């Protein structure tokens, strides 16, 4: 970010005033309203799902919405976070590596987000210190209040200008009372004060405890959590109560009395069958009307748009509800003990299942322990197999075993990112006869590095050892299965997060063996989609992209939808011939497709 850009929004910083309210060029007070969603009692309540659902029902009314997630950690982005600790890393089209909640917002709102929609404490402090070094605060001692909180408010107002939003939805990560998030709550109190009446709506998502030994719901923890919010100077307008079962009238009355929130705005957010039911749950509780009333947005609502949006969404829910066929798709990875590591993959399969009219059951397969000896037992019952992204050596050989089994036994297969790379490795070894073929990431000195970091990529992309991130255009080869799946488009937009590529010098050898590279970078020898011809395999595709990150409930990703439809065609147990072939594979005999 340029020095000029960092400094051009600093104003009213002097010894004559204690007010510090930086506003970006073009900001109009009163144009954008703010809904602030916070949590209490515990994390993991689903603030992102709740906030995105609330944003959706306002968008359905014809309002323009822009979500933003405020994270307390000091990382500049989520790129270095371990999936075991923080779930999957979601990548936006502009390359920002962010929290998985941004994926929830993109899917629920069906709109692409940018780095403007994701803020961390690291980003805030970094900008404040850069401004301080440039003399931007005119000699003032730089403090949490007003300078750090001022930077938070500036980021929200910049988003408001860029998105031209009617409503900015602000989700504060963690819970009220967390040390790392305290200045976010103060910034939101200041924002509401500065913007004036009818400018901000505060929603607290809390948890209602239901100890099995007591057999009743207890609200004391929720009361104390909301007290911490009141101590921050923030009066909530809406209280949403999470719980396993519907929250009772008695508990809602207690919270209404304790928090000064009208009873009809203390709502139950109990567990339900699908997150896609939550928008209608909120609408049924009158939350869309409540927010419109609180923010005085009546003149911006378009009932015709809402009617159309609700009909479309209801059709999706109907398809989910009426699905009476099931397919089992295996997800073979090494983070299978933490389902959030594959959140977008799970959702992409859900979207595809709804559109294909089936319910997708997921069988989690830990590739760390997968071998030729047990692969038939682990994979033989599957209708389809998906190999998701990942990094590192652990579980890689098990994934290669899984790819071979799916290829040889004609199980519908989709490889994603690392799965794409290992599909190339497996094909090179077992079809092209390149003994010891591997990726340099796994075995740096392997005899046939069919996957490598390309010198050409370093020179062209200027990324060195870093990853290629974000949206890229992909040229699709005419006459291929990918061409058909993408509705015969010759160029599509996909998202990437990877360092390693197919080594160009092996491409001719791989293609001679029967592998088809049906998608590539438009101007460079970078392979991005592969497949086997229809006469060789019913469905064998892989992509270097993270196709799941652009899948939406109303627009499922074509590659995932193709996998699910192929799995439907494969709803038959292994034949005796297939079992015999599996035994042959286990003893090391080479079988090609």
pLDDT tens, residue order, the chain (593 aa): 566 566 555 554 555 666 778 899 999 999 999 999 999 999 888 999 999 999 999 999 999 999 999 999 999 999 888 776 777 899 999 999 999 999 999 999 999 999 999 999 999 999 999 999 998 888 788 999 999 999 999 999 999 999 999 999 999 999 999 999 999 999 999 999 999 999 999 999 999 999 988 889 999 999 999 999 999 999 999 999 999 999 999 999 999 999 999 999 999 999 998 899 999 999 999 999 999 999 999 999 999 999 999 999 999 999 988 888 999 999 998 766 666 788 999 999 999 999 999 999 999 999 988 999 999 999 999 999 999 987 778 889 999 999 999 999 999 999 999 999 999 999 999 999 999 999 998 999 999 999 998 665 555 544 434 678 899 999 999 999 999 999 999 999 999 998 899 999 999 999 999 999 999 999 888 999 999 999 999 999 999 999 999 999 999 999 999 999 999 999 854 444 444 443 433 333 333 22
With residue 290 as reference, give the H or E element that holds it.
helix 287-295
Looking at the structure, tell me whether residues 329 and 261 fall in a common domain.
no
pLDDT for 82: 75
Nearest CA among 400, 407, 453, 406 for reference residue 429: 400
Looking at the structure, tell me whether residues 210 and 269 fall in a common domain.
yes
Is residue 591 domain-resident?
no
Structure tokens given for 236: 């909530």
Is residue 593 domain-resident?
no
Looking at the structure, tell me whether residues 347 and 304 fall in a common domain.
no
- The residues near 423 (Cβ < 8 Å, ≥ 6 apart) are 387, 403, 413, 415, 530, 542
- Residue 363: CA atoms inside 13 Å, Cβ hemisphere, count? 16
| Cα-based torsion angle of the residue sequence 103, 105, 108, 114 in order, rounded to the nearest 10 degrees | -80
Is residue 592 domain-resident?
no
Radius of gyration of the chain (CA): 26
**Residues 20, 146: Cα–Cα separation, whole Å:** 6
Place of tokens 């969603």: 37
Place of tokens 């692969």: 375
Looking at the structure, tell me whether residues 272 and 150 fall in a common domain.
yes
- Residue 113: CA atoms inside 13 Å, Cβ hemisphere, count? 34
- C-alpha distances in angstroms, 269 versus 58, 272, 279, 286? 18, 9, 11, 13
- Any idea what the CATH number is for the domain that residue 145 is in? 3.40.50.300
Is residue 268 domain-resident?
yes
Is residue 213 domain-resident?
yes
Q: Which residues share a beta bridge with 40?
A: none
Active site residue 232: no
pLDDT for 457: 54
For residues 281 and 269, the answer to whether their CB atoms sit within 8 Å is yes
Sheet with 437-439: strands ordered across: 437-439, 448-452, 501-502
For residues 345 and 360, the answer to whether their CB atoms sit within 8 Å is no
171, 195, 397, 548: the active-site residue: 548
Percent of the chain that is helix, strand, coil (3-state, to 5)? 40, 20, 35
DSSP character at residue 140? P
pLDDT for 587: 32
**Residues 572, 383: Cα–Cα separation, whole Å:** 8
For residues 73 and 238, the answer to whether their CB atoms sit within 8 Å is no
pLDDT for 273: 87
**Residues 360, 379: Cα–Cα separation, whole Å:** 16
Nearest CA among 276, 264, 199, 161 for reference residue 36: 199
147, 351, 448, 546: the active-site residue: 546
Q: What is the pTM of this model?
A: 0.89
Looking at the structure, tell me whether residues 352 and 447 fall in a common domain.
yes
Q: How many domains does the chain have?
A: 2
**Residues 394, 442: Cα–Cα separation, whole Å:** 9
- Per residue, the 3-state secondary structure of 178-214, as one string, reads CHHHHHHHHHHHHHHHHHCCCCEEEEEEEECECCCCC
Looking at the structure, tell me whether residues 286 and 399 fall in a common domain.
no
First to last CA, the chain: 52
Note the Cα 58 to chain centre separation in Å.
21
Looking at the structure, tell me whether residues 281 and 338 fall in a common domain.
no
Looking at the structure, tell me whether residues 230 and 198 fall in a common domain.
yes
The last residue of a domain, from among 277, 296, 315 = 315
- Cis peptide leading into residue 542 (ω within 30°): no
Is residue 216 domain-resident?
yes
- Any idea what the CATH number is for the domain that residue 356 is in? 3.40.50.880
Active site residue 186: no
Place of tokens 């994390």: 43
Active site residue 546: yes
The last residue of a domain, from among 270, 290, 315 = 315
Looking at the structure, tell me whether residues 426 and 382 fall in a common domain.
yes
Look up the domain containing 405 and give its range. Answer: 325-586
Looking at the structure, tell me whether residues 502 and 575 fall in a common domain.
yes
The last residue of a domain, from among 266, 295, 315 = 315
Structure tokens given for 419: 């799965």
For residues 560 and 548, the answer to whether their CB atoms sit within 8 Å is yes
Is residue 377 domain-resident?
yes
Q: Which residues share a beta bridge with 205?
A: 39, 240
Q: Which residues share a beta bridge with 37?
A: 171, 203
Is residue 320 domain-resident?
no
Note the Cα 473 to chain centre separation in Å.
20
For residues 236 and 261, the answer to whether their CB atoms sit within 8 Å is yes
- The residues near 576 (Cβ < 8 Å, ≥ 6 apart) are none
Looking at the structure, tell me whether residues 356 and 311 fall in a common domain.
no
417, 448, 531, 537: the active-site residue: 417
Looking at the structure, tell me whether residues 310 and 331 fall in a common domain.
no
């Amino acid at each position: 970010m340029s020095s000029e850009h960092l400094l051009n929004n600093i104003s009213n910083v002097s010894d004559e005033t204690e007010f510090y309210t930086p506003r970006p060029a073009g900001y109009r007070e009163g144009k954008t309203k703010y809904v602030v969603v916070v949590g209490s009692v515990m994390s993991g309540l689903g603030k992102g799902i709740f906030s995105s659902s609330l944003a959706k029902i306002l968008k359905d009314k014809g309002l323009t919405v822009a979500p933003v997630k405020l994270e307390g950690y000091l990382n500049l982005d989520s790129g270095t976070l371990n999936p075991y600790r923080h779930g999957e890393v979601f990548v936006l089209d502009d390359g920002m590596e962010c929290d998985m909640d941004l994926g929830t917002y993109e899917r629920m709102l069906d709109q692409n987000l940018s780095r403007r929609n994701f803020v961390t404490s690291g980003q805030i402090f970094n900008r404040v210190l850069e401004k301080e070094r440039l003399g931007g605060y005119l000699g003032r001692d730089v403090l949490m209040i007003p300078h750090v909180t001022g930077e938070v408010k500036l980021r929200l107002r910049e988003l408001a200008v860029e998105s031209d939003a009617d409503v900015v939805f602000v989700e504060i990560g963690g819970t009220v009372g967390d040390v790392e998030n305290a200045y976010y709550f103060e910034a939101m109190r200041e924002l509401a004060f500065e913007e004036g009446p009818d400018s901000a709506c505060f929603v607290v998502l809390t948890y209602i405890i239901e100890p099995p030994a007591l057999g009743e719901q207890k609200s004391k923890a929720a009361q104390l959590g909301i007290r911490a919010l009141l101590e921050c100077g923030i009066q909530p307008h809406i209280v949403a109560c999470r719980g396993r079962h519907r929250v009772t009238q008695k508990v809602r009355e207690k919270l209404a009395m304790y928090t000064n929130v009208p009873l009809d705005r203390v709502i139950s957010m109990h567990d339900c069958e699908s997150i896609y039911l939550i928008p209608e749950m909120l609408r049924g509780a009158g939350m869309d009307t409540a927010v419109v009333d609180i923010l005085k947005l009546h003149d911006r609502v378009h009932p015709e748009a809402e009617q159309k949006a609700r009909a479309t969404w209801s059709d999706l829910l109907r398809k989910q509800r009426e699905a009476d066929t099931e397919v089992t798709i295996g997800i073979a990875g090494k983070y299978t003990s933490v389902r959030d590591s594959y959140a977008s993959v799970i959702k992409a399969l859900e979207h595809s299942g709804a559109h294909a009219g089936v319910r997708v059951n997921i069988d989690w397969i830990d590739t760390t322990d997968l071998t030729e000896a047990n692969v038939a037992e682990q994979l033989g019952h599957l209708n389809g197999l998906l190999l998701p992204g990942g990094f590192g050596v652990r579980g890689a050989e098990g994934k290669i075993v899984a790819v071979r089994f799916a290829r040889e036994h004609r199980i519908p297969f989709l490889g994603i990112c690392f799965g794409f790379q290992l599909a190339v490795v497996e094909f090179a070894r077992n079809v092209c006869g390149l003994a010891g073929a591997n990726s340099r990431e796994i075995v740096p000195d392997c005899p046939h590095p069919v996957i490598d970091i390309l010198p050409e990529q370093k020179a062209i992309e200027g990324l060195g050892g870093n990853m290629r991130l974000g949206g890229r255009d992909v040229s699709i080869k005419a006459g291929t299965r990918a061409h058909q799946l993408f509705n015969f488009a010759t160029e599509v937009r996909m998202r990437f997060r990877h360092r390693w590529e197919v080594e160009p010098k092996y491409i001719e050898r791989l293609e001679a063996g029967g592998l088809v590279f049906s998608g590539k970078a438009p101007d460079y020898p970078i392979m991005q989609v592969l497949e086997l011809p229809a006469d060789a395999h019913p469905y064998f595709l892989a992509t270097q992209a993270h196709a799941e990150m652009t899948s939406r409930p109303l627009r499922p990703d074509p590659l995932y939808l193709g996998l699910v439809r192929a799995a439907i065609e494969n709803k038959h147990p292994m034949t005796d011939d297939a079992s015999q072939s599996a035994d042959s594979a286990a003893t090391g005999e080479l079988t090609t497709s």
